Structure 1
Amino acid sequence: MTADKKVYNNILETIGDTPLIRLHKTVADLPCPVYAKVEFFNPGNSIKDRMAVKMVEVAEAEGKLKPGGTIIEGTSGNTGMGLALAAIQKGYRCIFTTTDKQSKEKADILKALGAEVIICPTNVEPEDPKSYYSVSKRLATEVPNSWYVNQYDNLANRLAHYEQTGPEIWKQTEGKVTHLVVATGTGGTITGTGKYLKEQNPDIQVWAIDSYGSLLTKWFNTGEIDMKEVHPYITEGIGEDFVPENYDRDVIDYFEKVTDKDGAVMARRIAKEEGIFVGYSAGSALSGLKQLKSKLTKDDVVVVIFHDHGSRYVGKVYNDEWMLDRGFLDVNTVQDLIGGLGRRRLVTIDAAQTVQQAMELMQQYDIEQIPVKTGNDITGSVSQHGLFKKLMQDLNLKDQAVSNVQETGIPVVAMNTPIERLTGYINKDNGAVLAKDDSGDYHIITKYDVLNALSKG
């Protein structure tokens, strides 16, 4: 072991001291440098490791968490990860409640670390007995020797960021930071970090990024808790339908809302253009900053918090089919549409096979039209409509080769064909088109695929 290699006693000692990385392509339209505080370098791959361990340490010191106890919390996943890491090292049991809108990957990771995970419905009031807040509170009264974390109202949450995240950013920017941008949920990160930075320089602007469907922005602007603002949204880890005690309005200067789509699209841009594989809230944070670019000058230095890692969202934000289903992908060409549909088996039939076999394939896969292959080439097609007309005239055709009854081939279009042009190829007699990719594989696009894409465009 060389002398310059730091050795850690356990995984908890690796929390913090995360890098500050300058962004380039995604912020090329902004007048000032923008740096990302990349928190997935923490061992649990999120900023929540900081406050999770701090809350455990404070609870131990106050006698609320005793040896062999059970940690109980409602979590979107990342706080649970940090708590689970602490529990492993310190010998505690964990029970977490979460919502059904959170990615499956988050729940699976928590289970992998030995936690018990209870999935609760998203679209209920916080006071509803079925909400993940209520279920976690109830369990804390029922499970012996347990401690209810309550990250939302537990002020050790923001204390962690006052003691760690704020000082790190101040030191890394050599005191030059002028703006802190945080996609905010529990309020701990923005309040704790912002409080420390404003103590060093009161002129630093602290901007909170919120989601449509959250009541936090209106609360900040008016002091009013308006439940009419609350409606379901997809973005994970930010926004709230109540106001956690960790918030301090005196620390925050501005709230900005970002749509589910803009946050998701920006997260993908950060991954592709900066090489930083981030979670959903990072996309929201950067999208919100760009919405506020008119408030920036060339002399500013902006720090944006990138809360967690993209691996938590591979089944959602980084899944083309998920994005396409929600209208989050701009589908302009056949290539775009095929990317969103994902890999699908192309059902074909050999020209030497029988009409009966063609009919069975149509029934098995519930399809209206099948390409006919001669060797490796597609030479025609058979359709339900065409076979029905022919069989009504001669039922014996079902035992003949498909080559005797095949119709004109399904049109083959280029991968860069605009979606709108496909309507010229698809009609009542032809319900699909084919496209051939660079590897020589064929893909089929049906009229339903086109209609679905156009309806969400």
Structure 2
Amino acid sequence: MKYCNNILETIGNTPLVKLHKVTAELPCEVYAKVEFFNPGNSIKDRMALKMVEEAERLGYLKPGGTMIEGTSGNTGMGLALAAIIKGYKCIFTTTDKQSKEKVDILKALGAEVIVCPTNVEPEDPKSYYSVSKRLATEIPNSFYVNQYDNLANRVAHYEQTGPEIWDQTDGRITHLIVATGTGGTVTGTGQYLKEKNPNIQVWAIDSYGSLLKKYHETGELDMSEVYPYITEGIGEDFVPQNYDMSVIDKFEKVTDKDGAVMARRITKEEGIFVGYSAGSAVAGLIQLKKYLKPTDVVVVVFHDHGSRYVGKVYNDQWMMERGFLDVKTVKDVVNGRRNLPLVTISPDEKVSDAIAKMKKFDIEHIPVIHQQQIIGSISENGLFNKLIDHPDIKDALIKNVMQPAFPTVSLETPIEKLSVYINKENGAVLAADDSGNYHIVTKYDIIQALGN
């Protein structure tokens, strides 16, 4: 029989997958090291287990003990898996910018989770760094893991991730791209690869709002670089001890929007359901394309799985609220028609009047309005079906043949969402502007908008 004795034995040996569409503009081969194949769905499983084993070896972690850590989610999951197998308790602090999915998963794995504010200094007593440190001094038989300064973090990648990439590329790798936070992945992996070939370039991807890039370039801890940002799992407002900046050849910053949009592209175009930082890594690589040549072999680390970000990056409403999603809305359709007045008909007019208006204005759908209230609708298709059976219906009053009123939607509704309302039975929707004036959007309007 071939089997693993426990889930921890499945960590590592993740696949290398060639990218095609999202990197089509680059002159070279690009491969993704897809780390969500680890049991906790992220690269952090590697260093989490290493830190636990090292703590056990040194006597810091004793039977029945409690692991305490500040985490953006993924490290906590790796630690929680190790705790389940090895019999420890876990208490994790995290920030309020992390996705709800991450917090829920940590709780599902039996961990206690304390959510702390993001927009405070690391030294602030309320920060997730400070709270975790304080708990480690107050709780008996506890161990503060400290992934930021625990060098077992980068050792895990020196021993595992680096050798795997070297072997999988047959030593052809020329560039390593890592969206970096604690520094363990980029330093440990980069150090191993540079020992194999000093010419390998190690590029770290940072976020706007983080001080890492400037520190790498100047050695200056410039707190004016620090401000709140949305991207999860990368960037820092201090420099963890896991960093060896001499291993890193270049830092590149990526915006919150570009990282989120690229993550969605990778998922949709490559079929690899990735997390936020993978989008940032590929976006940063593309920003640096002028430094690449056809003979290069690039490896990008995809840290975690997209399921952690279903409520954020993969939620259209969340993306639109932050201006990350460039979508056409009902308002765009209305504005494209130069706000032409809505053609309506009253319930006491005749069917022949509706037919005349349809011919005059070249339209298929007319709202029925009585005392400034929409009470029904008339459509070309509906009239056609009635005229076939009753040719004399042209003299009938609209109120006797009208159909239900068209659905009313917000002007901010994305046109892709209108399929819920516009179908075989109903061919249009209405939307009111701030002045109370109604506008109509039809199947034809949607086809035109999507085609432009």
Band of TM-score, shorter chain: 0.7 to 0.9
Matches within 5 A, 1:9-408: 9-334=5-330, 379-380=367-368, 386=372
CA contact (8 A) 2:408 2:431 kept: no
Q: CA deviation at 1:334?
A: 4.2
CA contact (8 A) 2:176 2:200 kept: yes
CA contact (8 A) 2:408 2:429 kept: no
**Root-mean-square deviation over aligned CA pairs:** 2.9
| Shift in CA distance, 336/178, structure 1 to aligned 2, threshold 3 Å | farther
CA contact (8 A) 1:435 1:443 kept: no
3-state SS of 2:150 partner: coil
CA contact (8 A) 1:71 1:149 kept: yes
Mapped partners of 1:292, 1:59: distance in 2? 39
Structure 2: 5+ residue stretches without partners: 334-346, 348-364, 374-398, 439-452
| Shift in CA distance, 382/150, structure 1 to aligned 2, threshold 3 Å | farther
Mapped partners of 2:367, 2:193: distance in 1? 69
CA contact (8 A) 2:69 2:76 kept: yes
Mapped partners of 2:310, 2:424: distance in 1? 25
Mapped partners of 1:151, 1:169: distance in 2? 23
CA contact (8 A) 1:412 1:434 kept: no
Matches within 5 A, 1:421-432: none
Q: CA deviation at 1:380?
A: 2.8
| Shift in CA distance, 443/242, structure 1 to aligned 2, threshold 3 Å | farther
Deviations 1:145-171 (A, max 9, x none): 000000000000000000000000000
Structure 1: 5+ residue stretches without partners: 338-350, 352-376, 388-402, 420-432, 451-457
Counterpart of 1:316 in structure 2: which amino acid?
K
Q: In the alignment, what sits opposite 2:381?
A: none
CA contact (8 A) 2:177 2:203 kept: yes
| Shift in CA distance, 39/411, structure 1 to aligned 2, threshold 3 Å | closer
Counterpart of 1:65 in structure 2: which amino acid?
L
Mapped partners of 1:440, 1:81: distance in 2? 49
Mapped partners of 1:307, 1:418: distance in 2? 31
Q: TM-score when scaled to structure 1?
A: 0.77
Q: CA deviation at 1:379?
A: 4.5
3-state SS of 2:163 partner: helix
Mapped partners of 1:411, 1:11: distance in 2? 52
Counterpart of 1:214 in structure 2: which amino acid?
S
| Shift in CA distance, 288/336, structure 1 to aligned 2, threshold 3 Å | farther
Deviations 1:123-148 (A, max 9, x none): 00000000000000000000000000
Mapped partners of 1:440, 1:39: distance in 2? 47
CA contact (8 A) 1:434 1:443 kept: no
Q: CA deviation at 1:437?
A: 3.5
Q: TM-score when scaled to structure 2?
A: 0.78
Mapped partners of 1:103, 1:231: distance in 2? 19
Mapped partners of 1:291, 1:69: distance in 2? 46
Counterpart of 1:447 in structure 2: which amino acid?
D
CA contact (8 A) 1:43 1:49 kept: yes
Deviations 1:187-229 (A, max 9, x none): 0000000000000000000000000000001100100001110
Q: CA deviation at 1:436?
A: 4.9
3-state SS of 1:26 partner: coil
3-state SS of 1:140 partner: helix
Counterpart of 1:447 (choices 420, 433, 442) is 433
Deviations 1:39-96 (A, max 9, x none): 0000000000000000000000000000100000000000000000000000000000
| Shift in CA distance, 295/409, structure 1 to aligned 2, threshold 3 Å | same
CA contact (8 A) 2:273 2:306 kept: yes
Counterpart of 1:181 in structure 2: which amino acid?
I
CA contact (8 A) 1:381 1:410 kept: no
Count of residue correspondences: 374
Mapped partners of 2:17, 2:424: distance in 1? 37
| Shift in CA distance, 150/437, structure 1 to aligned 2, threshold 3 Å | same
Mapped partners of 1:163, 1:131: distance in 2? 32
Q: CA deviation at 1:439?
A: 6.2
CA contact (8 A) 1:410 1:434 kept: no
